Amino acid sequence: MAAKEYQQHFVSSSADSTRMFKANWMEALSKVHFSVPLIIYVPIMAWCLWHAKGSFLSLAGLFLGGLFIWSFTEYTLHRFVFHWVPPGSLGKRLHFIWHGVHHDYPNDKLRLVMPPSVSIPLAIIFFTGFRVLIGEPAVYPFFAGFLLGYLCYDMMHFAMHHLRWNHPFWMRIKQHHMLHHYQQHDRGYGVSNPLWDYIFNTTFNLTQKKQ
C-alpha cells in the first residue's frame, strides 16, 4: 500500500499512551521521555568532537555536512520507511508499531522521540557506514553534525506537539508538520525543516482549498 493510499481512521487528542505490546518489557522499550536522546547523544557528540582533527574550516565543513546529510536522512526515513505500509495484516501491524501509532495518538508524550531501542542500533549502522565512506578522523566531526541534526529533529518534534510557539518562523515549521498530521499524510515529510519537501515537491499548497 502506497503512502498516499493509507487512510487514518482514528486520531486521539489524549496525551496518554496506548498499549502496543502484550509483553511488558517490549511495551517499556517503546516508550521514552523526551530528555533521553539528549542524555545519550550529547556526550557522544562531545566524544566525537574531542576526537576530531584538522583545521577549523575543515572541521566546520564536515560538521555542517553531517547536519545537511541528517536533513536528507530525516526526509527519506519519514517518507519511504515510516510511511511505508507492507502488504497484509502483518504489514499494517508493523506500520502501526513504527509510525502509525504516532498518527493515531499524536500527543502521546512517551512516543514522540525515537526510543533508544531503535535509535542506538541505527546510530551504530550510520556511524559504521560513514566511517567506511569517509574514513577517520573525518567521520567524527561529520557524525557529530549528523547527531545534532537528529537531536534537533527529536526535540523540535516534541515541541511541536506540546509547546506553544509564538515566533512566526517556528509557527511556520509547526504548521508544516500539523498539515502533515491532519490534512495530507503523503506530503510534508520534513519535520525539523521543509527543505527537501520543496526540492521533491511534497510540500503543501496552502491556497488549494480556495480554488
103 versus 1: which is more confidently predicted? 103
| C-alpha span between 171 and 165 (Å, rounded) | 6
Block residue for cell numbers 500500500: 1
* Set of cell numbers at residue 199: 526540492
**pLDDT for the residue numbered 147:** 98
- The label of the residue with cell 519519514 reads 78
Residue environment code for 164-203, b if the CB has 16+ CB neighbours within 10 A, otherwise e:
eeeeeeeeebbbbbebbbeeebebbbbbbbbebbeeeebb
The predicted model gives 66-84 an average pLDDT of 94
Is residue 2 over pLDDT 80? Answer: no
Average model confidence (pLDDT) for the chain?
A: 86
Overall average pLDDT of the 2-9 stretch: 40
pLDDT at 6 over 80: no
Does the structure show a pLDDT above 80 at 14? no
Q: What pLDDT sits at residue 185?
A: 85
Buried b or exposed e, range 6-20, using 16+ CB within 10 angstroms: beeeeeeeeeeeeee
Indicate if the pLDDT at residue 1 is higher than 60: no
Which pLDDT value is given to residue 49? 96
pLDDT digits (tens, 9 = 90+) for 58-72: 999 999 999 999 999
Q: Examine the pLDDT at 33 and tell me if it is beyond 50.
A: yes
Q: Which three cell numbers stand for residue 91?
A: 504489514
C-alpha grid cell, residue 105:
495518538
What does the block give as the cell for 27? 511495551
Alpha-carbon 9 to chain mean position: 23
How many CA atoms lie less than 13 Å away from 139 in the CB half-sphere? 14
For residue 209, the model assigns a pLDDT of: 47
Q: What are the residues whose beta carbons fall under 8 Å from the beta carbon of 162, sequence distance 6 or more?
A: 15, 107, 109, 112
Residues of the chain with pLDDT > 90, as a percent, come to 50
Identify whether the C-beta of residue 73 lies closer than 8 Å to the C-beta of residue 176: no
Task: Kindly report, residue by residue over 122-140, the tens digit of the pLDDT.
Answer: 999 999 999 999 999 999 9
What's the pLDDT tens digit per position in 138-194?
999 999 999 999 999 999 999 898 888 888 888 888 888 888 888 888 899 999 999
